[in-house]
Structure 1
Amino acid sequence: MKKWYLLLVLCGNAIFAQNNFDVFFDFNKDIPNQTAMLTLKNWMSEHKKFVVTKLYGYCDSVDNSSYNKELAARRINSVLNLLKENEIAISPAIELIPLGKDFKLSKIQAENRKVTIVAQEIPKPVEIKKTEEPQKLSQQVKSAKPGDIIKLQNINFLNNSDKLVEKSKPVLDSLLCVMNENPKLKIEIQGHICCSTVGDVRDVSTLRAKAVYVFLLRKKIARTRLTFKGYGTTRPKFPIPEKNDEEEDENRRVEIKILEK
């Protein structure tokens, strides 16, 4: 039940189909009449993907307000129990509202003896697509031989610094998985920068390679399996200055060199 409530909270700003349904009662009764039972059963069978958020209880104009509210509350509980017995999702924050005869009464008394079910369609869970990056990197390492160099895709840092941006974390996790899957694997982490015609003045490429190195050390990968080195602008894939953003991205990269497997 909690998972439905969580989905409703997470999707509170979205619009989902709402359904109101009336369950009718005979005079002074707190159990739905036979006809109402049949229609309720049909409604429940067709609304398995709805969650009940409110139940309103009503009575006719006979008797006093206090008694009618008490009767309305019993009618609400009767319907609530039927919903639970038929495994209809009930919101933990459900509102149970006995109005008795404190509402705009119909001239037809039978129409006032009811409980109104307010239900909302359960939103479909958002499908999160699995990234192919971990599998791709694992396959690249598996087919590589000592001396081969593999680029780590989507590794990004704050401008001119060694601070990794949040979206780089899945790539680091992929590399960690590869290191754990291949206990004999030894690598050199290589940093490269783009754009600078005067070289790596602040040695940013080394700092970035070290950031990846430190991440793996903190995740319990043995120091003996890791080295790091910054190559600055000495190994560009495209001439510097680059012609466009794509060439800059190719030059500004972190790679791993397979040392041993």
Structure 2
Amino acid sequence: MKSLLSIFLFFFVANAFAQEQFVVYFNSDKFELTKTENKKLNEWINLHTQDKIVAINGYTDEDGSSGYNDTLAKKRVNHIFDIVKDKVPFREDFKSRSYGENFNQSNNKAENRKVTIYYIEEKDLARENEILGIKEELTTKLDTSAVIVDEVVSDDAPLEERIAKTKEGKTLILKDINFYHNTFGVMSESRPTLYDLAFIMQNNPKLVIQVQGHVCCNMDVTDSRSVMLSRERAKAIKLFLVSRGVSAARVSFHGYGSSMPLFPIPEKNEEERIANRRVEILIVKK
């Protein structure tokens, strides 16, 4: 039955039960709700504690790069998921999807900055599969290899769990990786995360990754110094892993400079600058 939900959910959700959806909206470039929208969400939660959520989809307007919008949409989904996860039941094979700007945009940009919760009301749960367009007898006959879905993985989960749940071709942020100012020297507080990553690589010999470096604060995304610095920082992570016995063939690296910020440049505060100068890993192969 799990395979069937992945096939049918996103094709039938808009038509099969359009009345069972709830939408919250976000300010530009934000992934946290305003007080008004947060109140609206909590009022919805209080009225739907016996219903069942089947999907949460995230969207953005067209401002910013596609990479930035994809990340922002996912952060919006994760924010809503964290609020509702212990308050409203979820279908066992619940999935989320982050569309970013890749959907039919409204002319009103404010209407595009949203997250939509799809759910089934308590009175209709007996018809759950019918509503979703799922025919149980076809479960073993459908090929779901081409279906792309995103599972919500908490940023606070252990690195091993985050890597295990991240699909090939997807990236995740290495938390708590810091460098000395304008250098590729790794600060001492980064060591626990690096040792965790080395341990995971050592115990998963089929795991192949690409280390991706990003820097902040530069309006010129073509600036060669920023690209070089981000590249050298990513390379430093690779060299650490190799020094811990990980085969160099399993770790590549790439520097993106400031071309893929999580927050628009110039950043508004140090928190946004820290978020933009980050290290990510791309799961190449498991």
Q: Higher helix share goes to which structure? A: 2
